[in-house]
């Protein structure tokens, strides 16, 4: 009897043991926004931003003067800060910027007689010093972090530039539309514009000419001497000026204390539920924003043809269209592609996209929700564009077809975002705003060494 019990028991135990594996029943977990979001952030390579390098005060002081001084422009009528004005969060609030010859500041700035819009929107300088690999909308100034830069100047770029941002600062003075002017221009005092007389590819001569202007002003000489104490005046070049401008931008315009940045520093309460939901969409598979706007800067490292309506005078061989990065040598693949901009403080820098086609974040997201349809239905008259620019919308079928032909594959199908989800995405994008970036007017100097007006 006992033997039977033991035997039966052993058989029963064996049967039980072999049948147990299928009993485990995986099931759907209750969602936790923070756990999900932190996993998504990890997948997108989003990490906190470390401190920017401390800049020498004399260098920052010189850079501030240069950024706000119109003496850098051929006609002495426009400074870097005209289109990157602290009042407009280091941008200009315009869809397409207005360069030399224009009057006014910010969204009230108007074209000068015979002048044309600059083909692209002025991106904000806030957080320009965070170390992006590409600068300008087409990324024509690039550096991979190893001290070598690719720029339109090629070998003419002087050595010794400490950062990509400094390299970038070499080029606005070269642009005729932005700062240099066209042959025959006279400056604000009626004097000939000597910068405009130089050739477009003569980078060195233009930079030297600008430096002659600067070093003719004693206050600049003393500022340069303080900023570069080991460099004689004769050895100063425009690369030193660009270095100072970049130093000021880095020191004064780095704003990375947004709620999202605090969330990255493990403060779960820094974001609201709506913002976290938006972030999950942003970094998740539905909206897929982070496929371009990923990494620590939330963008700035890739290019995409997002099917943005073509506005403005255009540039290069594509004019009146703008081929974007596809305009660069050997970059045909990137036709109509532009840099996916870093998104910190994006709330403050409307209008959006490379040509300012969209006045609000909501409009941008509605566009992304169904790009082919949105492009076909784009109405320039409803986009808060100035009338002159509305006339420069290239909405013909051929242009739209050309843009859609090269549309980024990630945007070829609708995202099917609901209005609620778009609202959550907007809420998340607003969490990228550093409160200290709301008002940058304290950065405006009372005067500049040239004596030219600062805010006009």
Partner 1 sequence: MTSRVVSLSVVLLTVAGTAPAQSIPIHTVPLVPADQFDIFPSDALAMGEVSIAVPDTLHDPLVNPAKGARLRVARLFSSPTIYGVSHDAGSGRTLPMGAFTAGAAWYGGLALAVQQVDASQPSSSFFNPPLPFTGGLGSTTPDLGPGPLSHGNTLGFAMIGRKLRESGLSVGAGAIKKKLRAVDGVDLLYPGSRRVDQSGATVAARLGVLKEWAGDRSFEAVVLHDRFKMTHDVTFVDAFWDPGTQQFFQRSRLEHNRDFTKQWGLQVKYERPLTASGWRIGWLATANRTSQPNTPSSDLLNIPQDPGRAAAYELGVGVSRILGPSAFGIDVVYQPIWSTTWAVAETPTATSRGDSIPVGGRTVDNGFHFSNGLFRMGVSREVALGPLTKTAALQLGLVVRAVHYALAQQDHIEVVTRRLVESWVEWTPTWGLSLRFPDLELRYRGRVTHGTDRLVATPDQIIAFADQRPLGFFPPPGASPTLDGVHVVTHQFSVSLPLR
Contact residue for partner 1 among 41, 71, 280, 289 (CB under 8 A): 41
Beta strand 149-150 with 141-143 is: antiparallel
User: Residue 436 in 3-state DSSP?
Assistant: helix
Report the candidate in 439, 440, 436, 417 with the shortest Cα–Cα distance to residue 428. Answer: 417
Q: What are phi and psi of 217, to 5 degrees?
A: -105, 115
Check binding of 35 to partner 1 (CB under 8 A). yes
Show the binding pattern over residues 219-258: x = contacts partner 1 (CB under 8 A), - = does not: -------------------------------x---x----
Check binding of 285 to partner 1 (CB under 8 A). no
Check binding of 2 to partner 1 (CB under 8 A). yes
Check binding of 273 to partner 1 (CB under 8 A). yes
Candidate ranges 56-64, 196-204, 270-278, 367-375; the one touching partner 1 (CB under 8 A): 270-278
260: CB partners within 8 A, 6+ apart: 270, 271, 275, 279, 344, 428, 431, 432
Residue 106: Cβ within 10 Å count: 15
Check binding of 420 to partner 1 (CB under 8 A). no
Residue 311: Cβ within 10 Å count: 31
Q: Which is nearer to partner 1, 177 or 249 (CB)?
A: 249
Check binding of 330 to partner 1 (CB under 8 A). no
Candidate ranges 73-81, 115-123, 141-149, 172-180; the one touching partner 1 (CB under 8 A): 141-149
Tokens (6 digits) for 330:
């050997």
Q: b/e string for 357-375 if b means 16 or more Cβ within 10 A?
A: bbbebebbbbbbbbbbebb
Contact residue for partner 1 among 29, 154, 184, 190 (CB under 8 A): 29
The distance of Cα 225 from the centroid of its chain, to the nearest Å, equals: 32
Contact residue for partner 1 among 90, 98, 141, 164 (CB under 8 A): 164
| N- to C-terminal Cα separation, the chain | 108
CB of 50 to partner 1, least distance (A): 4
DSSP string over 157-223: SPS---SHHHHHTTSGGG-IIIII--TT-B-TTS-B-TTTTS-TT-HHHHHHHHHHHHHTSHHHHHH
Contact residue for partner 1 among 133, 288, 402, 406 (CB under 8 A): 133
Contact residue for partner 1 among 74, 119, 123, 131 (CB under 8 A): 131
Tokens (6 digits) for 158:
């002087």
Task: Show contacts with partner 1 in window 288-317 (CB under 8 A).
Answer: 294-297, 301-303
CB of 261 to partner 1, least distance (A): 11
Residue 227: Cβ within 10 Å count: 23
Show the binding pattern over residues 90-129: x = contacts partner 1 (CB under 8 A), - = does not: ---------------------------------------x
Check binding of 436 to partner 1 (CB under 8 A). no
Check binding of 33 to partner 1 (CB under 8 A). yes
Beta strand 303-304 with 338-339 is: antiparallel
Q: Which is nearer to partner 1, 24 or 317 (CB)?
A: 24
Check binding of 26 to partner 1 (CB under 8 A). yes
Check binding of 446 to partner 1 (CB under 8 A). no
User: Residue 305 in 3-state DSSP?
Assistant: coil
CB of 423 to partner 1, least distance (A): 12
3: CB partners within 8 A, 6+ apart: none
Report the candidate in 201, 213, 153 with the shortest Cα–Cα distance to residue 176. Answer: 201
CB of 260 to partner 1, least distance (A): 14
Check binding of 145 to partner 1 (CB under 8 A). yes
Which residue matches tokens 């169904």? 370
Check binding of 4 to partner 1 (CB under 8 A). no
Residue numbers at the binding site for partner 1 (CB under 8 A):
2-3, 5-6, 9-10, 12-13, 16-17, 20-21, 23-36, 38-39, 41-45, 47-53, 129-131, 133-134, 143-145, 163-164, 250, 254, 266, 269, 272-274, 294-297, 301-303
């Amino acid at each position: 009897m006992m033997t039977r019990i033991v035997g039966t028991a052993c058989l029963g135990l064996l049967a039980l043991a072999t049948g147990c594996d299928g009993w485990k029943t995986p099931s759907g977990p209750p969602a936790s926004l923070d756990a999900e979001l932190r996993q998504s952030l990890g997948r997108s390579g989003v990490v906190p931003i470390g401190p920017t390098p401390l800049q020498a005060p004399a260098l920052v002081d010189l850079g501030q003067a240069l950024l706000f001084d119109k003496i850098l422009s051929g006609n002495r009528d426009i400074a870097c800060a005209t289109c990157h004005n602290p009042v407009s969060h280091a941008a200009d609030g315009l869809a397409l910027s207005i360069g030399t010859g224009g009057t006014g500041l910010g969204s009230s700035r108007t074209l000068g007689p015979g002048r044309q819009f600059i083909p692209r929107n002025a991106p904000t300088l806030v957080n320009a010093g965070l170390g992006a690999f590409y600068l300008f909308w087409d990324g024509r100034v690039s550096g991979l972090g190893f001290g070598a830069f690719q720029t339109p100047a090629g070998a003419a770029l002087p050595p010794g530039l400490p950062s990509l941002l400094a390299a970038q600062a070499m080029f606005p003075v070269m642009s005729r539309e932005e700062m240099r002017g066209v042959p025959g221009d006279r400056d604000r005092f009626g004097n000939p514009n000597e910068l405009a007389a130089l050739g477009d590819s003569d980078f060195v001569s233009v930079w030297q000419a600008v430096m002659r202007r600067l070093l003719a002003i004693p206050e600049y000489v003393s500022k340069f001497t303080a900023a570069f104490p080991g460099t004689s005046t004769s050895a100063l070049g425009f690369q030193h000026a660009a270095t100072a401008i970049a130093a000021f931008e880095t020191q004064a315009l780095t704003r990375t204390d947004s709620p999202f940045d605090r969330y990255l520093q493990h403060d779960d309460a820094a974001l609201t539920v709506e913002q976290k939901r938006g972030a999950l969409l942003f970094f998740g598979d539905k909206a897929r924003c982070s496929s371009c706007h990923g990494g620590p800067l939330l963008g700035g490292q890739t290019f995409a043809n997002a099917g943005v309506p073509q506005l403005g005078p255009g540039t290069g061989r594509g004019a009146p269209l703008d081929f974007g990065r596809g305009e660069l040598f050997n970059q045909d693949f990137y036709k109509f592609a532009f840099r996916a901009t870093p998104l910190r403080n994006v709330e403050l820098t409307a209008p959006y996209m490379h040509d300012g086609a969209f006045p609000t974040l909501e409009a941008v997201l509605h566009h992304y929700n169904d790009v082919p349809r949105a492009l076909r239905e784009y109405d320039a008259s409803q986009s808060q564009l100035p009338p002159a620019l509305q006339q420069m919308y290239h909405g013909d079928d051929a242009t739209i077809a050309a843009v859609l032909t090269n549309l980024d594959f990630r945007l070829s199908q609708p995202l099917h975002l609901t209005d609620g989800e778009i609202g959550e995405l907007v809420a998340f994008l607003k969490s990228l705003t550093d409160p200290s970036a709301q008002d940058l007017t304290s950065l405006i100097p009372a005067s500049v060494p040239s004596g030219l007006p600062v805010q006009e």
